[in-house]
Chain A
Amino acid sequence: MEECQKEMHMSKKARSRKKAPAIGPRIVRAWFDTVINPLLNGLEKEQHLLAQHNWTWEFSPPSLEAIHRVQAYVDRNNLEHFTQHYPVVARAIEEHDQQQLLLLQHCQQLQSLLVGSPELLALYQQVTTPEALAEMGTTIEQLFSGSPQEQRLNLLAQYIVNHAGELSYFYIIAPLWNKHRQAFLTLLEHPSIRSTSEAMNKAGEAMWRSVDKLLRLLKEVRQKLAEEHDVPYVEPSTVVVEPAVVRYMVPPPHVTHTP
């Protein structure tokens, strides 16, 4: 009986040895190509936009155009496997996604406040008089593609929420936005809007920090995995060297958020 138990114990031990994490170069390669690298690329873009206070807010449909939940960047199945092995990354991802949701909510709040504010309406009316439009060499129909006034205010509010910079003249709204941009952005300082705008900025900064934390973690994990398993960050066979240009052609992951 005792021996039997001992045997059982040993076989359990042997089984558990077999079950020990078997992360090899193939799995690491898959994690790099379908989870870590695409996520790092996405997060770097997010960080760049967040640093400019461009939340990439879109009012229709309400969404953040370039700041996504992590799942949007990666292969879900490989992400699940990866985070099972790195719970610390899983927590950072959760935090990132929570901040993303909060940011979205703040954008929505600020948008609604701006669209309903008498100040935006007054400014809109002031800058779209026939004389003002004639001076810009455009018409209201051209600027807003024939959309009703509510939509026009929504569009302007969206640009304000995103602290949009000067636009290339490729964009239809550029003549109006570029000429009156400063006046539109000053609305964020108005006493009835300031506190919501400041809360928005704080949410954006918190989002930036969560992106930064996740970026650092992922880079650390990637370095460790690469060195432990002798796997390069990018498969050499997918690097194409052209005169003066090195282009990395990583096979695209299965991305769930595609326009």
Chain B
Amino acid sequence: MRARIVTAVVDTSPLLSALILEYMRRSSPVRSENILRNSRIADYLQHDQKRRMNFVRLFESIPNILTTSHVLGELQGLQRLKEDYQRGFWECAMQWLSAKGLDERLVKLLDLHGDTSLRRAVGEVGSTDAGLVSLARQVGCFTPDKVLLTDDQRTLAPLARQQQVYCYVVEDLLL
């Protein structure tokens, strides 16, 4: 049986999915469908209500959620809701993140430059991913209860594991 996750550093895609699902849960079923149709939610959540509920439960069960300012900055560019829906999304997102006690950390680019093991990664995977790995290392994500959560199996997960960070691909946790 998997250990309970107590602390998670969260990548952009799962965080965006968590916020969209929260917004859907607080909306009427008809609006919820419209939100889903017009949002960039992870593919594995698109058509599977059971997985969506498991995803919600997973995030509800994690007491400490951290992310970087870079990730939060990416959210607006990735979410596709407009006008009233966009306002509703952000209002809901801020309420939820506040209730969850989101710990937002700034990982400076020049700090990454000073970290010899991550300096190269910035050039290969970008500052957001390298920053997440850096934060995960700072808070000690080296055991199954302290982890980095991502949807990115191709780039971030291998980079994290290479840096000894305990990393889960979220989809694998929903089975």
**Closest-CB distance, A47 to chain B (whole angstroms):** 14
Chain A residue numbers with a CB within 8 Å of B30 are 49, 54, 56, 65-66
**Closest-CB distance, B52 to chain A (whole angstroms):** 6
CA distance A54 to B33 in the complex (A): 14
Chain A residue numbers with a CB within 8 Å of B76 are none
Which residue in B28, B53, B83, B85 is a CB contact (below 8 Å) of A170? Answer: B53
The verdict on A134 contacting chain B, using a C-beta distance below 8 Å, is no
Q: How many pairs of residues, A versus B, come closer than 8 Å at their CB atoms?
A: 54
Is A259 touching B34 in the complex (CB atoms < 8 A)?
yes
Q: How many residues of B contact A (CB 8 A)?
A: 25
Which residue in A58, A145, A146 is a CB contact (below 8 Å) of B31? Answer: A58
Chain A residue numbers with a CB within 8 Å of B35 are 259
Residues in A163-207 with C-beta less than 8 Å from chain B: 164, 167-173
Chain B residue numbers with a CB within 8 Å of A159 are 28
| Residues of A in contact with B, size category | 20 to 34
Is B82 touching A259 in the complex (CB atoms < 8 A)?
yes
Residues in A142-159 with C-beta less than 8 Å from chain B: 145-146, 158-159
CA distance A67 to B52 in the complex (A): 27
Known A56-B30, A146-B95, A171-B29: A259·B49 in contact at CB below 8 Å? no
Chain B residue numbers with a CB within 8 Å of A258 are 38, 82
Is A65 touching B26 in the complex (CB atoms < 8 A)?
no
Residues of A within 8 A of B (CB): 49, 54, 56, 58, 61, 65-66, 141, 145-146, 158-159, 162, 164, 167-173, 258-259
